[in-house]
Structure 1
Amino acid sequence: MDTGSTGDTGAGHGVRPETGPVEGKLVTRVLSALLREDVVGLRTRSTLAHRPDGAWLQRADGQGGFLLLPVVEDGFQCEFAARLPLLVGASKGAAPVPYETCDEILGVLRVLADPVDQDGFDAFASECRQTLATMRLHGSVRAEVAEQLTDRFGADPADWTGLTAGLAFDTLAAHLDHPVYPTARGRSGLSDEQLRAYAPEFHPRFALRWLAVPREAVTGTFPDHWPTPALLGLGELDRTHVTLPVHPLTVGAPLEKALRATGLTERAVLADRAHLEAVPTLSMRTVALSADPLLHVKLPLATATLGLRNRRTIKPGTLADGAAGQRLIQRVVAREPRFRDTILHADETMYAHAGHELLAALFRRYPAGLQDSVVVPMAALLAEAPAGRLVVDHLTDRFFGGDPLALLDAWLALLFDWQTTLFGYGIALESHQQNISLVLDRPTDGLTRLRLLLKDNDGPRINAARLRERLGEEFSGGTGERLGDDATGLLGFDDARTFAKGDQPVVDLFTTITVHLCAGAYAFGLARHGRAPLPVLLRLVRDRLAEAVERLGTRAGEPGAVLRAQVLDSPCLPVKAMVTAGTLLTKERSGAADINKHYTTGPNYLLYTGNSA
């Protein structure tokens, strides 16, 4: 990046009084994401200048003027982050123009984009407006929700034991921003009333709707004692139909369109009677059944989060992929006995669908025996608990003598041991903060025990050569068929993108999920909250990862050597470009085969030295 002078930056500008702190926070996050993803060259086509108030990036606007962005050194996935909710337009001989809202900023940047991409900027502006409204709604109900959770589960989250109480952590996490995606709280097309009735941040309860579908049109199986048509008032269909659960938000136009697409309009019947009380989990489309706390049901929704193209429907192929991923992971655990008691998995082998992404359901069964354990998704650790402290503070007080470093150390040691072991088999999981829970308890010996509980095994990346080397003959199924480079069908995966011919896609997923979201985000987050100095936290992350990498072997060609070269010692690391692939650009324009696995690059904070990232 070049350095230069910005001239008159208009540095006195701040947040407009009418903008307010909520919008200012969103604008700052949006600017930081656009900078990180180098949207319209904000990062690579800018020069850096230092002014009395701080650092500024300057980019030519193509019309003889400049765009000026106040920045601060960051280091977590980007060298800089936005310092203020502000972008300044500066033209020779004219007064600087401050842009301080998402609409204004995206309108200015839209002009610099290729004309074929400008609709994406409009879509992202709409996404920002939806998110701002949701953030304001969250602020207005936070005290009410905190009181509700306290009344139901108690004042101290460290005492919220069992899976039912664990749903309260999902509610807290839903009020927290995503570590990377700036508008994660927004859900396209949903009103405030719908969010209050069905979104996890409000901890609502509602009854599921039910669709009776001809048996021959449904693929899959159902849990024992599943509701029958007769139970739902459709006794005449008891012998010919089965019942698919439907999220109330899908009833109406989305469901009618799905039935027309599958030719089931005249053969499927929507029951008038709602049945089975449910509570939304953090993902919203997955709900927990009040009558059976161990069973969560994942249901498609006609909305999108984390990007316009990141729809919350359920493609039937992903159900098969989740089951195939689970079987593969279970095989690894069987060969690695040290994980049998420390890595827990929800069972995701039971599902049903009628051949459409809105006519599907996953029946996720959690392991028994967790009623005396605190089960907290990693996404909730830095969330604010009802009394105002962080969830992680409550957990460290009860289980780690008040030392957050001890808790971080414990989960990093287990997490990195597990994920690097999988890498040794050629496997990386999409196991981000929402898909991993810490399971904390004190068995009879009184010592703290920490385990990890994983879910959602679809979407992995697998190096077919490494997997063949470790497990190939075990997957012949007795037929003698070898695990080849294209092992998708043999292992039961539907998505051909699962398998790679080399390490790079596996390294990218390992880095962006396990390292960034499940480790780095907490080092920077705990430092931001003053729990420990950033150098101490980053050194802990590096040390625990280095120990796990060494166990893989670091001679040339060994998996540990790959992780050492491409993660521990690389000058830069892959970074998800979620806004670009999810909203700003079409797949054709971004080239993203998978919008959740589209990358740019950022600095390697594992090389952190001194006082500057």
Structure 2
Amino acid sequence: MSTALTGAPLHVPAPRPAPAPTATAPTAGPAPAPSDRLLHPDPSVAAEQAALEALLRCWARETGAAPGPDGYLRIAVLGGAARLSAPVRHWSPAGWHRFGPATLAAGEGTADAPVDAVTTAALLAAAAADRPDPGQVADLAARVADSVVRTADILAHHRAATAPLPGGPERSEFLAAEQSLLLGHPMHPTPKSRDGLGPAQSAAYSPELHGSFQLHWYAVDRDLLAAGSAVPESADRITARLLDDPALLPPGTAALPLHPWQARELAHRPAVAELLAEGRLHDLGPAGDPWYPTSSVRTVYRPGTPWMLKLSLGLRITNSRRENLRKELHRGLEMHRLLESGLADEWRAAHPGFDIVRDPAWIGVDHPGLGDPGGLDTVLRAQPFAPGERAYCVAGLVAERPHGARGADPVPSRLGDLLRALAARTGRPLPTVTAEWFLRYLDAVVLPVLWLDGVAGIALEAHQQNSLVLLDAAGWPEGGRYRDNQGYYYRLGAADRLTARLPGLGARSDTFLDDPVIDHHFAYYLGINHVLGLVGALGSQQLADEAVLLAALRRFLTGPAVTATGSALPGLLLDAPTLPCKANLLTRIQGLDELVGPVATQSVYVDIPNPVAGA
């Protein structure tokens, strides 16, 4: 098992091969019970179950743990003095397992007692390390508790919602999908942890609660202004228009939009407080029409506006504080210029349905006391989606939506509803429609990303939340988009041809990486998180047999269009016995911030069995 670690050594069992899926169903153990606790009428019970299942999925993936012949996953905890057990409702070759309630027994012959997610988190954190750090164990348990409470609030909100959703007549499918991640990342131990947000703030700032808020505005003296733009209009002219009332700006200043939570926190930072006291920064307060948070929380959207804003936000969300780094701001401009150098035309000629959501401008403050990140930098993102366009965040499309009891039915998702409607309309079996939809998706969304890697030498950190799929009127995939100025990797092996397109590329963005490092991360983000995550979602929601989808994936990967891209990822997925996988639980136990330090060591990685090679 390979890891990239700092701190206390982890004690993690070597991975064992995943149980092979049967020809008829990839489910281990007894048939699913008629009652699924994710659909429990009490949102708190459903939230507890969601957190517990995420923790157990993480443990199974990151340690190689597998269920016994009786269909139970068992984990030795407390140095072997106790056993944590959970029945397996669905064992997924792609990793999206489903579990029943967990119990804890102290030794053989002892009766099992129910155990909650917070206790489970503390037990697993202690079991993963030879010398557990009490602070990290407590931090994980606290953040799991925070995530559970927020998930319960989200489920209660959605189950009780009867009023029209916000956004007015221009509310788009795009915004609806951004608000659909009710449970969060299925392979993360604290998917909804947002420590630092009180209940009222959470209601306003959370996409899943249909929050909205006015931006908080600063005016910055022009001698402190830092900005960049790769489009004809300067960043400060764009923000002046977004302010709605330019008369609020004092002479000789530029408008700087901030997240309201960030604005309150910044006022307590010594360098910012000093600039405010000196009158070089001017606090204009909240202004303008409301904006809507998207799935990342810090990126905001306003219907009818040609720009979105990726705001700095010092909250710890999942594993990181979300403040913009200068190299990321330069990366967004670079990528726009690189695409406009002729690369986008070549890409569109091969794949007309795919593009990158551009981040072609940014604005912030330069001052030696601020550091990097300084907390005052904002990305200006082009907003390409029309109100009627069916653009969906992939993570939101596949996300489970446990709105309440449905008997023995599977937990629904937006994608599940869409596929069932397609099957009903066409009169074809649901698994057949799902397999065809999956193959069309691979052509529309995955193939263009492989082309950019193999032909251009640019790999995208294309996990599901960074990826959007465009659907036609019937619901079939017809295109896609990628977003995120953090997630571009330029291959050193392609440096000559990339810098020939745009001289000076990478000088300020720190984006060139060794090819093996890129191969390692690309395999996880596109291969495991994105594609296998889609396979796992379709299987766990009983929309198709994962073995059939994995066979379809192999067919796609061996096709001439994929081979022609020259990307190394298809060969890795087809033949490698193991794949490098980000270990979110072990990363959290180590207390790592994934935005800090070299890319190669920001997270813990483990090698997991490759279900594609074994399909």
**TM-score of the aligned structures, taking structure 1 as reference length:** 0.78
Corresponding position: 1:244 with 2:256: yes
C-alpha distance after superposition, 1:363-390 (max 9, x if no partner): 111237x344211111222246799953
Q: Which moved more, 1:316-325 or 1:250-259?
A: 250-259
Q: Which residue of 2 aligns with 1:280?
A: 293
Q: Which residue of 2 aligns with 1:7?
A: none
Output the CA distance in 2 between the equivalents of 1:447 and 1:600.
36
Q: Which residue of 2 aligns with 1:483?
A: none
Report the AA paired with residue 325 of structure 1: M
C-alpha distance after superposition, 1:295-347 (max 9, x if no partner): 1111111212122xx11111222111222234345553333343462113322
1:81 Cα deviation (Å)?
Answer: 5.6
1:141 Cα deviation (Å)?
Answer: 0.8
Task: Give the 5 Å matches for 1:77-116.
Answer: 83-86=99-102, 88=104, 90-91=106-107, 95=110, 98=113, 100-112=115-127, 113-115=129-131
1:516 Cα deviation (Å)?
Answer: 1.9
Task: Give the 5 Å matches for 1:173-572.
Answer: 174-220=181-227, 221-222=234-235, 224=237, 226-227=239-240, 231=245, 234=248, 237-238=250-251, 240-257=252-269, 259-260=271-272, 263=275, 265-266=277-278, 267-290=280-303, 292-307=304-319, 310-330=320-340, 331-339=342-350, 341-355=352-366, 356-367=373-384, 370-383=386-399, 390-396=413-419, 403-424=433-454, 425-441=456-472, 450-468=478-496, 470-475=497-502, 477=503, 490-492=504-506, 494-496=508-510, 498-502=511-515, 504-547=516-559, 550-552=562-564, 559-560=566-567, 562-572=568-578
Q: Which moved more, 1:194-203 or 1:595-604?
A: 595-604
1:2 Cα deviation (Å)?
Answer: 10
Whether the aligned pair in 2 keeps the contact of 1:28 and 1:86 (CA below 8 Å) is no
1:509 Cα deviation (Å)?
Answer: 2.4
Corresponding position: 1:573 with 2:579: yes
Select 1:600's aligned residue among 588, 601, 606.
606
Output the CA distance in 2 between the equivalents of 1:436 and 1:532.
22
Higher relative CO (Cα under 8 Å, sequence separation at least 6) belongs to: 2
Report the AA paired with residue 104 of structure 1: T
1:568 Cα deviation (Å)?
Answer: 1.2
Q: 1:199 to 1:404 in 2, by over 3 A?
A: same
Q: 1:596 to 1:517 in 2, by over 3 A?
A: farther
Output the CA distance in 2 between the equivalents of 1:466 and 1:374.
35
Q: 1:251 to 1:393 in 2, by over 3 A?
A: same
Report the AA paired with residue 116 of structure 2: T
Output the CA distance in 2 between the equivalents of 1:420 and 1:551.
10
Q: 1:210 to 1:548 in 2, by over 3 A?
A: farther
Please report the RMSD computed on the Cα atoms of aligned residues, expressed in angstroms.
3.8
Output the CA distance in 1 between the equivalents of 2:314 and 2:458.
31
Output the CA distance in 1 between the equivalents of 2:475 and 2:417.
17
Say which SS state the counterpart of residue 306 (structure 2) adopts. strand
Output the CA distance in 2 between the equivalents of 1:257 and 1:427.
38
Report the AA paired with residue 167 of structure 1: L
Say which SS state the counterpart of residue 532 (structure 1) adopts. coil
Corresponding position: 1:37 with 2:62: yes
Output the CA distance in 1 between the equivalents of 2:160 and 2:99.
32
Q: Which residue of 2 aligns with 1:6?
A: none
Whether the aligned pair in 1 keeps the contact of 2:177 and 2:393 (CA below 8 Å) is yes
Say which SS state the counterpart of residue 526 (structure 2) adopts. helix
Report the AA paired with residue 431 of structure 1: A
Output the CA distance in 1 between the equivalents of 2:597 and 2:223.
39
Q: 1:258 to 1:287 in 2, by over 3 A?
A: farther
Say which SS state the counterpart of residue 313 (structure 2) adopts. coil
1:50 Cα deviation (Å)?
Answer: 3.9
Output the CA distance in 1 between the equivalents of 2:539 and 2:457.
33
Q: 1:89 to 1:461 in 2, by over 3 A?
A: farther
Structure 2, gaps ≥5 residues long: 1-13, 17-35, 228-233, 367-372, 405-410, 427-432
Q: Which residue of 2 aligns with 1:584?
A: 590
1:55 Cα deviation (Å)?
Answer: 4.1
Percent of matched pairs sharing the same residue = 21
Aligned length: 546
Say which SS state the counterpart of residue 355 (structure 2) adopts. strand
C-alpha distance after superposition, 1:97-152 (max 9, x if no partner): 74712332344445553557332221111110111101110121113446423995
Q: 1:317 to 1:265 in 2, by over 3 A?
A: farther
Output the CA distance in 2 between the equivalents of 1:404 and 1:61.
43
Structure 1, gaps ≥5 residues long: 4-13, 154-161, 478-489, 554-558
1:268 Cα deviation (Å)?
Answer: 0.8
Report the AA paired with residue 274 of structure 1: A
Select 1:135's aligned residue among 148, 151, 156.
151
